[in-house]
Amino acid sequence: MADVHKRPSRWLTAAVWGAGVLLSSILVQSVTGWGGDALAQLLNNSAQLPVTALTAALGLRLVLRGGLDSRERRAWLLLEVSFLLQVAGNGASLIQHLGGGPISFPSVPDHMFLLAIPFVVAGLLLLPAERRSRTDRLKLLIDALIVVAGACMALWYVEIGPLLEVPGVDPVVIAFSAGVPVLDLLLVFALITLVLRRPEAGAAVGLLGASMGLKVVADSSYTIALVQFGVFFGPGDWPFLLWAAGTFFSLLAVYRRMVPGASAQEGRGRRGRVSWLPYGAIAFAYALLAFVAREQSLYPLGGMILGAVVLTALVIARQVFAQRENRRLAVTDPLTGLSNRALITESLAGLTRQPVRDGRHGAVLLIDLDRFKPINDAYGHDAGDAVLLGVAAALRAVIRSGDTAGRLGGDEFAVVLPALPNRAAAEGIAQRLVDALRTPVVFGNQLLHVEASVGVAFHEEGVLDAEQLLAHADVAMYAAKRAGRGHYRVYTPDLDTRARDAELWRAVENNELVVHFQPVVDLSGGDCVAVEALVRWNHPERGLLYPGAFIELAEETGAVIPIGEWVLREACRQAAPWPVKLSVNLSAKQVVQPGLVETIGGILDETGFPAERLVLELTESVVLQPDEQTVARLSELRDRGIGISIDDFGTGYAALNYLRTLPVSVLKMDRSFVSAIDTDPDAYAIADAVVRLAHAYRLKVVAEGIETAGQARCLVEMGCVYGQGYHFARPMPGEALADFLAPARPGGH
């Protein structure tokens, strides 16, 4: 549903308040009796008119400018017609009153009010609500009809029936008097379906429903009092007060729909609240029947009514049990009889919605069997089933009422503990589970040994939903498995890191990494003279990940060592046939490895890649304070012909002395220097200075991150010879780079 963005102006809000005050005057007059019937009459006619007029005006604005979607607009358009008829009715009534003549029944206002009802009914039925399946809509219709049938009986007994019995009344009057309750019945139908349908714009529709509900109560009390007890209510009496309140609620409904935020979320989260309604209606209808039949003799009518009541009660009971059974089947795991994934997720969602507070801790345990698959494979499915049943029994033994134990699938189980006195309680349960599951399961004459790893996660501040909580438990469970199985582990954020780290190591093993290559070009001619190898991770779930998403973690945990080795080997393998140099990034962790020189030498031998074409890129942080061994290692590499370059130059600490002491041959000027050179003279001057500096140290400069022709031109002006950036080419897979290189000649930097 579209949201109505424009906030009503202050005067509008004031007008709505004013309307409320105006209508309260009717209440005050009624309570105090001040001014007698004459004033009551006048107030009733004159106070309602401005209010209904305001409602109609706001309704018009809502329909014309409310930003409603087409379906809701149609609904409000119909409601608007009813508001306008209401205004006409109130106006006509005021004119009649001021005219002072005798008022006949039915008169003009009566027609207006009557005519308004079908429009309200249609409007209410059209209001958009939750989407439902065909069966659901059919069920809804039947539910609504049951309620209306109950109301029909009541109406027939107390209103319409007696009306027909009144002798000598004009048929038009009878028809008209019966018309109101019949149309009201339609209104009741619309209201019931409205409640059952869970409309989208909750508060506004709620107010509208309340308004119509008040109207129905007022209408029927008025008629019932008249036909049953011969009591004639007049202005100032309570049905009139209800009518006035209804008028005000309609105004509030329209106003509320205009307020921003009256949006789709409002109507959510009330599932199952009204399913008792049809049963209530049946109970009501039978109560009425019993009341009417109380004076009848038991034979024949009384007994039969009693029989019908009992029969219906039994049918309802059967229905309720069937429903329960359906629900039970839908949420249990057929093998173990535990809850299934759906119910576990539901209870987890409930747990994550409860507030986090001391003395009531929510936790989930995730249990994964450690040796299930071999048992299943070796002894067959019956043995597997026996093990799963054993686990189910163990889970049942540790939970209390309010907890949920379930099987998520395969050999994975979960326990949801929504109300623990402290965190230690969850750990106690986890430990008991681990111990219990160590006991072997007896299967025929076999003893089957399984063990379980348990992950524990608590519902804490910052845990968003069931899925996240389960993911935490999963991380903890894997940590437990890594720690040697048959253990439990409580989730902590650093486990997350560890889990992701393990994932990184697996990525290398499973060949999930790929290398892309970005050309480095000669800025004056545009020829590709080198390529830089850049790693990417083809993550099985998250897709292609760039180094920004994992290199930092890999640096922290050391996974960057196998990753870097893999990249170097892969890049050398792919780039061997290309007539250009190859740059490979080396992390700080790699540089301090004692075996670095041997590793690189081995890879070069293995791939046949010539040392003179390899350049290793180091970041400034590595070379800022190099220890002696590092300098020695780098010198050895240099002696073998391998080039060393300083990557992202200028982003670290501006310590220049290392440029003299280290065997460096290339400076890669960071792209932060390049980004503004063609627009900002200061940036130009600084980049220029960097280029001069590099030349003073007899280093080649490669400018990074060149994105425009303007930047490239400036760099040429400065005497910077090489560059790299999206302006020339983005990093690309090896095959694409081979095509890119096709026209290029060998070169170097």
Q: Which residue is associated with the tokens 């065997």?
A: 663
CA nearest 534: which of 494, 567, 485, 578?
567
Residue 394 binding: pick among Mg ion, ligand C2E, none (C-beta 5-8 Å cut-off by kind)? none
Closer of 339 and 585 to ligand C2E (Cβ): 585
439 vs 430: CA distance, rounded Å: 15
Q: Judged by CB, which is closer to ligand C2E: 41, or 708?
A: 708
Q: 582 with 533: CB under 8 angstroms? A: yes
156 DSSP 8-state letter = I
DSSP bridge pairs for 57? none
**DSSP string for residues in 79-132:** HHHHHHHHHHHHHHHHHHHHH-----SS-HHHHHHHHHHHHHHHHHHHS-B---
Closest contact distance (angstroms) between CB of 729 and ligand C2E is 9
- Smallest separation (angstroms) from ligand C2E to the CB of 539: 15
Taking the least distance from each CB to ligand C2E, the nearer of 591 and 662 is 591
Indicate which of Mg ion, ligand C2E, none lies near residue 725 (CB less than 5 to 8 Å, by partner kind).
Answer: ligand C2E
| Stretch binding Mg ion (CB under 5 A), from 8-16, 118-126, 658-666, 700-708 | 700-708
Of 455 and 723, the one with the shorter C-beta distance to ligand C2E is: 723
Residue type, 371: R
Query: Among ligand C2E, Mg ion, none, what binds residue 567 when CB lies within 5 to 8 Å by partner kind?
Result: ligand C2E
Q: How many residues does the chain have?
A: 749
Nearer to ligand C2E by Cβ, of 247 and 724: the residue is 724
Those residues whose C-beta lies under 8 Å from the C-beta of residue 620, and which sit 6 or more positions away, are 646, 647, 648, 649, 651, 652, 653
Cα–Cα distance, 314 to 306 (Å, whole number): 12
The CA distance from 40 to 234, in Å, is 9
Q: Which does 587 bind (CB under 5 to 8 A by kind): ligand C2E, Mg ion, none?
A: ligand C2E
Of 191, 647, 703, 718, the one binding Mg ion by CB under 5 A: 647
Tokens of 492: 């902590």
Q: Give me the residues that bind ligand C2E (CB under 6 A), please.
A: 518, 534-535, 546-548, 551, 560, 564, 567, 585, 587, 617, 647-648, 671, 704-707, 724-726, 731
CB of 128 to ligand C2E, least distance (A): 45
Q: What token pair was written down for 381?
A: 């499915």
- Is residue 587 close enough to count as binding Mg ion by CB under 5 A? no
User: What is the chain's Cα-based Rg?
Assistant: 40
CA 546, CA 523: separation in Å to the nearest integer? 27
Contact string (CB under 5 A) for Mg ion, positions 606-645, x = contact: -----------x----------------------------
Nearer to Mg ion, 189 or 673 (CB): 673
Q: How many residues of this chain bind Mg ion (CB under 5 A)?
A: 5
Structure letter (DSSP) for residue 548: G
**Each residue of 7-43: b (16+ CB within 10 Å) or e?**
ebeeebeebbeebeebbeebeebbeeeeeeeebbbbb
Of the pair 59, 731, the CB lying nearest ligand C2E is at 731
Nearest CB to Mg ion, comparing residues 363 and 561: 561
Provide, rounded to whole angstroms, the least separation between the CB of residue 554 and ligand C2E. 8
Q: Name the E strands within 612-707.
A: 614-619, 643-649, 666-669, 700-703
Say whether the peptide bond before residue 106 is cis (omega within 30 degrees of 0). yes
Based on CB atoms, which residue is closest to Mg ion, 647 or 688? 647
Instruction: Return the residue of 72, 219, 648, 688 that touches Mg ion, per CB under 5 A.
Output: 648
Question: Closest approach of Cβ 523 to ligand C2E, in Å?
Answer: 13
Which residues does 345 contact at the CB level (< 8 Å), separation at least 6?
466, 470
560 binds, among Mg ion, ligand C2E, none (CB under 5 to 8 A by kind): ligand C2E
**CB of 284 or CB of 505, closer to ligand C2E:** 505
Closest separation in Å from C-beta 604 to ligand C2E:
16
CB of 643 to Mg ion, least distance (A): 13
Under DSSP, the state recorded for 339 is: B
Minimum Å gap between C-beta 452 and Mg ion is 46
Nearer to ligand C2E, 95 or 709 (CB): 709
**602 close to 633: Cβ distance less than 8 angstroms:** no
Instruction: Return the bridge partners of 336, or none.
Output: none
110 binds, among Mg ion, ligand C2E, none (CB under 5 to 8 A by kind): none
453 binds Mg ion (CB under 5 A): no
- For residue 566, the minimal CB distance to ligand C2E (Å) is 8
Q: What does the binding site for Mg ion look like in residue numbers (CB under 5 A)?
A: 585, 617, 647-648, 704
